Amino acid sequence: MTLQEPADYRAALRRLDALVAAGFEGNPELEAEFRELIVAIDTYEDKLGLLPIPNLPTTLADMIELKRQQMRLKQKDLAQLLEVPAGRLSQILSGKRRVTLDLAKKLYERLGISPEFILKTA
């Protein structure tokens, strides 16, 4: 199976969803179709040069680091932005120190990290 155009790609994705929803496991013909669709979709996406979806951070330290990189800040500049000593920020990023309520507010206001994410991962 070869996907040539976007319509073929969309149809393959719909069929893949239908197979998953119907439960293809245990049926040899449907399992073979599922594998064939996966290969065709991967090949088409590789041909387009689509980038894989990056994994989102799961810890607050990783999220802070991601925001730092997106803003193209050095760690000391981020510490200044958040109004914390550079050493304290380093300890937070390494997991040796917890985030205070004041810093949590600054993470939300200045870096745009959602309060829900902060509460769940702090």
> Per the domain annotation, does 112 fall within a domain?
yes
Instruction: Name the region of 49 (left: φ>0; alpha: ψ -120 to 50; beta: rest).
Output: left
Q: Give pLDDT tens digits for 32-74.
A: 999 999 999 989 888 887 666 677 899 999 999 999 999 999 9
Q: Which residues contact 103 (CB under 8 A, 6 or more apart)?
A: 82, 84, 92
Both 96 and 65 in one domain: the answer is: yes
Helix, strand or coil for residue 51?
Answer: coil
> Per the domain annotation, does 23 fall within a domain?
yes
- The distance of Cα 96 from the centroid of its chain, to the nearest Å, equals 24
Q: Give pLDDT tens digits for 81-109.
A: 999 999 999 999 999 999 999 999 999 99
How many domains are there within the chain? Answer: 2
Both 81 and 30 in one domain: the answer is: no
> Per the domain annotation, does 69 fall within a domain?
yes
Q: What is the mean pLDDT of residues 76-85?
A: 96
pLDDT at residue 23 in the model: 86
pLDDT at residue 62 in the model: 94
Q: What is d(CA 6, CA 4) in angstroms, rounded to the nearest whole number?
A: 7
pLDDT at residue 47 in the model: 84
pLDDT at residue 27 in the model: 87
pLDDT at 11 over 90: yes
**Residue scoring higher pLDDT (19 or 50):** 19
pLDDT at residue 92 in the model: 95
pLDDT at residue 73 in the model: 94
> Per the domain annotation, does 83 fall within a domain?
yes
Question: Which DSSP category does 84 fall into?
Answer: S
Both 36 and 68 in one domain: the answer is: no
Residue 111 lies in domain: 60-120
Q: Is the pTM of this model over 0.85?
A: no
Both 44 and 70 in one domain: the answer is: no
Both 18 and 64 in one domain: the answer is: no
- The shares of helix, strand and coil residues in the chain, as percent rounded to the nearest 5, are 70, 0, 30
> Per the domain annotation, does 1 fall within a domain?
no
CATH number of residue 96's parent domain = 1.10.260.40
Residue 112: how many CB atoms within 10 A of its CB? 10
pLDDT at residue 50 in the model: 66
> Per the domain annotation, does 22 fall within a domain?
yes
